[in-house]
Copies of this chain bind each other. A is one copy, B any other.
Amino acid sequence: MRAAVVRDGAVAVQEVPDLVPRPGELLVKVASSGINAADLLQRSGLYPAPAGSPADIPGLEFAGEVVATGGGWSAYKLGDRVMAVVGGGGQAEYAVVHESHALLVPKRVDLEAAGGFPEAFSTAHDALVTQARMTSSDRVLITGAAGGVGTAAIQIAAALGGTVVASARDEAKHAALVELGADSTITPDQTADAGPFDVVLELVGGSSLADVQRTLARFARVVVIGVGGGGPRVELDLLGVMQRRITLTGSTLRSRSVEEKAQVAAAVRRGLLPLLGSGAIRVPVQSVLPLEDVSVAYDAFAAGGKLGKYVLSVSE
Protein backbone atom coordinates (compact mmCIF):
# COMPACT_ATOMS: atom_id res chain seq x y z
CA MET A 1 0.00 0.00 0.00
CA ARG A 2 0.99 3.64 -0.32
CA ALA A 3 1.66 5.72 2.77
CA ALA A 4 3.25 8.95 3.94
CA VAL A 5 6.68 8.05 5.30
CA VAL A 6 8.92 10.22 7.45
CA ARG A 7 12.66 9.95 6.85
CA ASP A 8 15.59 12.29 7.50
CA GLY A 9 13.41 15.29 8.30
CA ALA A 10 11.20 14.93 5.21
CA VAL A 11 7.86 13.30 4.47
CA ALA A 12 6.86 11.68 1.17
CA VAL A 13 4.47 9.04 -0.10
CA GLN A 14 5.96 5.67 -0.93
CA GLU A 15 5.07 1.99 -1.10
CA VAL A 16 5.08 0.14 2.24
CA PRO A 17 4.11 -3.41 3.23
CA ASP A 18 0.41 -4.22 3.51
CA LEU A 19 -1.20 -4.41 6.95
CA VAL A 20 -2.83 -7.47 8.51
CA PRO A 21 -5.27 -6.78 11.36
CA ARG A 22 -4.84 -8.83 14.52
CA PRO A 23 -7.78 -10.16 16.54
CA GLY A 24 -9.72 -7.22 17.96
CA GLU A 25 -8.47 -4.88 15.23
CA LEU A 26 -10.16 -3.42 12.17
CA LEU A 27 -8.47 -2.90 8.81
CA VAL A 28 -9.77 0.36 7.40
CA LYS A 29 -9.47 1.71 3.86
CA VAL A 30 -8.60 5.28 4.72
CA ALA A 31 -10.61 8.09 3.09
CA SER A 32 -9.01 11.00 4.90
CA SER A 33 -6.59 11.80 7.69
CA GLY A 34 -6.23 15.08 9.57
CA ILE A 35 -2.88 16.79 10.09
CA ASN A 36 -1.80 17.60 13.63
CA ALA A 37 1.15 19.43 15.17
CA ALA A 38 2.59 16.10 16.26
CA ASP A 39 3.00 15.09 12.60
CA LEU A 40 5.33 18.01 12.05
CA LEU A 41 7.27 17.15 15.18
CA GLN A 42 7.53 13.58 13.94
CA ARG A 43 8.85 14.82 10.58
CA SER A 44 11.52 16.75 12.50
CA GLY A 45 12.41 13.63 14.47
CA LEU A 46 11.24 15.23 17.74
CA TYR A 47 8.17 13.13 18.45
CA PRO A 48 8.89 9.43 18.20
CA ALA A 49 5.85 7.22 17.67
CA PRO A 50 4.69 5.37 20.80
CA ALA A 51 5.29 1.63 21.14
CA GLY A 52 2.94 -0.41 18.97
CA SER A 53 2.51 2.31 16.35
CA PRO A 54 4.24 2.46 12.95
CA ALA A 55 7.61 4.13 13.54
CA ASP A 56 7.72 6.15 10.33
CA ILE A 57 4.13 6.58 9.08
CA PRO A 58 2.56 9.72 10.58
CA GLY A 59 -1.15 10.41 11.03
CA LEU A 60 -2.87 10.49 14.44
CA GLU A 61 -6.39 10.20 13.07
CA PHE A 62 -8.30 8.96 10.07
CA ALA A 63 -11.72 8.06 8.74
CA GLY A 64 -12.63 5.35 6.24
CA GLU A 65 -14.46 2.10 5.62
CA VAL A 66 -13.90 -1.22 7.36
CA VAL A 67 -12.53 -3.71 4.81
CA ALA A 68 -11.49 -6.54 7.13
CA THR A 69 -11.55 -7.57 10.78
CA GLY A 70 -8.90 -9.43 12.71
CA GLY A 71 -11.04 -12.53 13.16
CA GLY A 72 -13.43 -13.63 15.88
CA TRP A 73 -16.48 -11.68 16.91
CA SER A 74 -16.57 -8.04 15.87
CA ALA A 75 -18.91 -5.19 16.70
CA TYR A 76 -18.27 -3.87 13.18
CA LYS A 77 -19.12 -5.18 9.75
CA LEU A 78 -17.44 -4.62 6.40
CA GLY A 79 -18.39 -1.28 4.90
CA ASP A 80 -18.96 0.42 8.26
CA ARG A 81 -17.76 4.02 8.23
CA VAL A 82 -15.40 4.52 11.15
CA MET A 83 -12.93 7.07 12.43
CA ALA A 84 -10.34 6.88 15.18
CA VAL A 85 -7.42 8.36 17.04
CA VAL A 86 -4.31 6.22 16.52
CA GLY A 87 -0.72 6.40 17.74
CA GLY A 88 0.36 6.88 14.13
CA GLY A 89 -0.13 5.36 10.69
CA GLY A 90 -3.26 7.26 9.71
CA GLN A 91 -1.78 8.93 6.64
CA ALA A 92 -1.80 5.83 4.48
CA GLU A 93 -4.05 3.91 2.10
CA TYR A 94 -4.97 1.52 4.91
CA ALA A 95 -4.74 1.69 8.67
CA VAL A 96 -5.49 -0.67 11.53
CA VAL A 97 -7.22 0.33 14.72
CA HIS A 98 -8.29 -1.50 17.84
CA GLU A 99 -12.07 -1.83 17.83
CA SER A 100 -12.28 -0.21 21.26
CA HIS A 101 -10.80 2.96 19.77
CA ALA A 102 -13.04 3.11 16.68
CA LEU A 103 -15.94 5.54 16.41
CA LEU A 104 -18.85 5.16 13.97
CA VAL A 105 -19.10 8.19 11.65
CA PRO A 106 -22.62 9.64 11.93
CA LYS A 107 -24.66 9.47 8.71
CA ARG A 108 -24.74 13.18 8.01
CA VAL A 109 -20.96 13.59 8.25
CA ASP A 110 -18.86 12.97 5.13
CA LEU A 111 -15.70 10.90 5.47
CA GLU A 112 -13.46 13.76 4.35
CA ALA A 113 -14.41 15.94 7.30
CA ALA A 114 -14.56 12.91 9.61
CA GLY A 115 -10.83 12.34 9.12
CA GLY A 116 -10.23 15.63 10.92
CA PHE A 117 -12.56 14.90 13.82
CA PRO A 118 -11.07 12.31 16.21
CA GLU A 119 -7.84 13.84 17.52
CA ALA A 120 -8.90 17.43 18.21
CA PHE A 121 -12.41 16.61 19.41
CA SER A 122 -11.33 13.69 21.59
CA THR A 123 -8.61 15.86 23.13
CA ALA A 124 -10.98 18.75 23.75
CA HIS A 125 -13.76 16.52 25.11
CA ASP A 126 -11.41 14.62 27.38
CA ALA A 127 -9.96 17.87 28.72
CA LEU A 128 -13.22 19.76 29.20
CA VAL A 129 -15.53 16.99 30.29
CA THR A 130 -13.48 14.13 31.72
CA GLN A 131 -10.70 16.16 33.31
CA ALA A 132 -12.27 19.56 34.07
CA ARG A 133 -15.78 18.16 34.64
CA MET A 134 -17.22 21.17 32.87
CA THR A 135 -20.94 21.86 33.36
CA SER A 136 -23.39 24.33 31.89
CA SER A 137 -22.89 26.74 34.80
CA ASP A 138 -19.19 27.17 34.05
CA ARG A 139 -17.52 30.19 32.51
CA VAL A 140 -14.88 28.66 30.23
CA LEU A 141 -11.72 30.22 28.80
CA ILE A 142 -10.11 28.59 25.79
CA THR A 143 -6.66 29.95 24.94
CA GLY A 144 -5.16 29.39 21.50
CA ALA A 145 -8.77 29.06 20.45
CA ALA A 146 -8.25 29.29 16.68
CA GLY A 147 -6.39 25.98 16.36
CA GLY A 148 -7.77 22.49 15.82
CA VAL A 149 -8.30 21.67 19.49
CA GLY A 150 -9.45 25.23 20.24
CA THR A 151 -12.16 25.29 17.58
CA ALA A 152 -13.31 21.86 18.75
CA ALA A 153 -13.34 23.02 22.38
CA ILE A 154 -15.37 26.15 21.62
CA GLN A 155 -18.06 24.05 20.01
CA ILE A 156 -18.11 21.42 22.75
CA ALA A 157 -18.21 23.98 25.59
CA ALA A 158 -20.96 25.91 23.83
CA ALA A 159 -22.97 22.75 23.08
CA LEU A 160 -22.73 21.79 26.78
CA GLY A 161 -24.25 25.14 27.70
CA GLY A 162 -21.20 26.86 29.17
CA THR A 163 -20.30 30.51 28.73
CA VAL A 164 -17.34 30.47 26.36
CA VAL A 165 -14.59 33.07 26.11
CA ALA A 166 -12.22 32.35 23.20
CA SER A 167 -8.72 33.85 23.30
CA ALA A 168 -6.83 34.17 20.00
CA ARG A 169 -4.04 36.55 19.02
CA ASP A 170 -5.33 37.10 15.48
CA GLU A 171 -8.37 39.36 15.73
CA ALA A 172 -9.26 38.59 12.12
CA LYS A 173 -10.38 35.17 13.32
CA HIS A 174 -12.56 36.37 16.17
CA ALA A 175 -15.76 36.54 14.12
CA ALA A 176 -15.30 32.92 13.05
CA LEU A 177 -14.81 31.88 16.69
CA VAL A 178 -18.08 33.54 17.63
CA GLU A 179 -19.74 31.71 14.76
CA LEU A 180 -18.45 28.44 16.23
CA GLY A 181 -20.14 29.27 19.52
CA ALA A 182 -17.91 31.59 21.53
CA ASP A 183 -19.90 34.08 23.62
CA SER A 184 -17.03 36.54 23.47
CA THR A 185 -13.49 36.76 22.17
CA ILE A 186 -10.32 38.32 23.56
CA THR A 187 -6.70 38.72 22.58
CA PRO A 188 -4.18 37.32 25.09
CA ASP A 189 -3.33 40.79 26.46
CA GLN A 190 -6.99 41.19 27.50
CA THR A 191 -6.91 38.11 29.72
CA ALA A 192 -6.62 39.98 33.04
CA ASP A 193 -9.97 41.72 32.56
CA ALA A 194 -11.87 38.75 31.14
CA GLY A 195 -12.24 36.55 34.25
CA PRO A 196 -13.32 35.04 36.49
CA PHE A 197 -13.16 31.62 34.85
CA ASP A 198 -14.34 28.30 36.26
CA VAL A 199 -12.63 26.18 33.60
CA VAL A 200 -9.59 26.99 31.48
CA LEU A 201 -8.37 24.94 28.55
CA GLU A 202 -4.76 26.09 28.24
CA LEU A 203 -3.53 25.47 24.70
CA VAL A 204 -0.75 28.08 24.60
CA GLY A 205 1.39 27.30 27.64
CA GLY A 206 3.52 29.11 30.17
CA SER A 207 3.27 32.74 29.07
CA SER A 208 -0.51 32.43 28.81
CA LEU A 209 -0.96 30.57 32.09
CA ALA A 210 1.08 33.25 33.90
CA ASP A 211 -1.79 35.67 33.21
CA VAL A 212 -4.60 33.12 33.35
CA GLN A 213 -3.81 32.11 36.95
CA ARG A 214 -4.88 35.57 38.12
CA THR A 215 -8.34 35.24 36.53
CA LEU A 216 -9.48 32.03 38.18
CA ALA A 217 -12.68 31.65 40.16
CA ARG A 218 -12.92 29.62 43.34
CA PHE A 219 -12.72 25.90 42.52
CA ALA A 220 -11.47 26.63 38.98
CA ARG A 221 -10.06 23.74 36.98
CA VAL A 222 -7.20 24.39 34.56
CA VAL A 223 -6.23 21.75 32.02
CA VAL A 224 -2.95 22.24 30.15
CA ILE A 225 -2.99 20.56 26.75
CA GLY A 226 -0.45 22.55 24.76
CA VAL A 227 2.69 24.56 25.47
CA GLY A 228 3.92 25.18 21.93
CA GLY A 229 3.10 28.87 21.82
CA GLY A 230 3.86 29.98 25.36
CA GLY A 231 6.62 27.69 26.56
CA PRO A 232 6.72 24.77 28.99
CA ARG A 233 7.34 26.69 32.22
CA VAL A 234 5.25 28.96 34.39
CA GLU A 235 5.80 30.62 37.75
CA LEU A 236 2.82 29.42 39.71
CA ASP A 237 1.33 31.36 42.64
CA LEU A 238 0.71 28.65 45.21
CA LEU A 239 -1.19 30.91 47.61
CA GLY A 240 -3.66 31.59 44.81
CA VAL A 241 -3.98 27.85 44.24
CA MET A 242 -4.65 27.30 47.95
CA GLN A 243 -6.97 30.20 48.62
CA ARG A 244 -9.08 29.68 45.50
CA ARG A 245 -8.90 25.88 45.63
CA ILE A 246 -7.55 25.69 42.07
CA THR A 247 -6.93 22.36 40.38
CA LEU A 248 -4.28 22.27 37.65
CA THR A 249 -3.80 19.24 35.48
CA GLY A 250 -2.66 18.38 31.99
CA SER A 251 -2.33 15.57 29.53
CA THR A 252 -1.26 14.37 26.16
CA LEU A 253 -3.48 11.96 24.29
CA ARG A 254 -0.83 10.11 22.36
CA SER A 255 1.15 8.68 25.27
CA ARG A 256 -1.84 6.95 26.84
CA SER A 257 -2.26 3.22 27.15
CA VAL A 258 -4.61 1.19 24.95
CA GLU A 259 -7.08 0.98 27.84
CA GLU A 260 -6.97 4.72 28.54
CA LYS A 261 -7.57 5.47 24.87
CA ALA A 262 -10.54 3.11 24.89
CA GLN A 263 -11.98 5.06 27.82
CA VAL A 264 -11.54 8.31 25.89
CA ALA A 265 -13.27 6.78 22.85
CA ALA A 266 -16.11 5.51 25.03
CA ALA A 267 -16.63 8.99 26.47
CA VAL A 268 -16.61 10.49 22.96
CA ARG A 269 -19.18 7.92 21.78
CA ARG A 270 -21.51 8.81 24.65
CA GLY A 271 -20.96 12.52 24.88
CA LEU A 272 -19.87 13.78 21.51
CA LEU A 273 -21.09 11.61 18.62
CA PRO A 274 -24.73 12.57 19.30
CA LEU A 275 -23.72 16.24 18.97
CA LEU A 276 -21.78 15.52 15.77
CA GLY A 277 -24.71 13.54 14.38
CA SER A 278 -27.19 16.33 15.11
CA GLY A 279 -24.99 19.00 13.55
CA ALA A 280 -24.50 20.78 16.90
CA ILE A 281 -20.76 20.41 16.36
CA ARG A 282 -18.88 20.09 13.08
CA VAL A 283 -15.32 19.79 11.85
CA PRO A 284 -14.15 23.18 10.59
CA VAL A 285 -12.06 22.18 7.55
CA GLN A 286 -9.55 24.75 6.38
CA SER A 287 -8.14 22.82 3.46
CA VAL A 288 -8.20 19.35 1.85
CA LEU A 289 -5.13 18.15 -0.05
CA PRO A 290 -4.40 14.77 -1.61
CA LEU A 291 -2.11 12.39 0.30
CA GLU A 292 0.47 12.70 -2.51
CA ASP A 293 0.90 16.36 -1.50
CA VAL A 294 1.63 15.49 2.14
CA SER A 295 4.83 17.52 2.24
CA VAL A 296 3.12 20.62 0.83
CA ALA A 297 0.23 20.12 3.25
CA TYR A 298 2.58 19.92 6.26
CA ASP A 299 4.29 23.15 5.14
CA ALA A 300 0.93 24.89 4.76
CA PHE A 301 -0.14 23.65 8.22
CA ALA A 302 3.17 24.80 9.70
CA ALA A 303 2.81 28.27 8.18
CA GLY A 304 -0.09 28.92 10.57
CA GLY A 305 -2.82 31.46 10.03
CA LYS A 306 -5.32 28.65 9.75
CA LEU A 307 -8.72 28.26 11.29
CA GLY A 308 -9.78 24.64 11.39
CA LYS A 309 -8.28 21.42 10.13
CA TYR A 310 -5.96 20.50 7.29
CA VAL A 311 -7.07 17.14 5.98
CA LEU A 312 -5.29 14.75 3.64
CA SER A 313 -7.63 13.03 1.19
CA VAL A 314 -6.49 9.47 0.66
CA SER A 315 -9.07 7.97 -1.71
CA GLU A 316 -8.07 7.68 -5.34
Contact = CB atoms under 8 A, between A and B. Distances in A.
Given A242-B250, A242-B251, A255-B243, A235 B237 contact: no
A232, A238, A243, A245: most-surrounded residue (chain B CB, <10 A): A238
A287 to B, nearest CB: 28
A246 B249 contact: yes
Nearest to A227: B238
Contacts of A248: 236, 241, 247-249
Contacts of A236: 233-236, 248
Interface in A200-255: 205-206, 209, 224-225, 227, 232-239, 241-243, 245-252, 255
Give the size range of A's interface with the partner.
Answer: 20 to 34
A255 B236 CA distance: 21
Could you say how many copies of this chain the assembly holds?
A: 2
B242 A225 contact: yes
Say whether chain A's binding surface is mostly helix, strand, loop, or mixed: mixed
A69 to B, nearest CB: 32
B245 A249 contact: yes
A29 B248 CA distance: 42
Nearest to A224: B238
Interface in A241-274: 241-243, 245-252, 255
Contacts of A232: 237-239
A205 B250 contact: no
5 smallest beta-carbon distances between A and B, as pairs: A242-B250, A241-B250, A247-B249, A232-B239, A248-B248
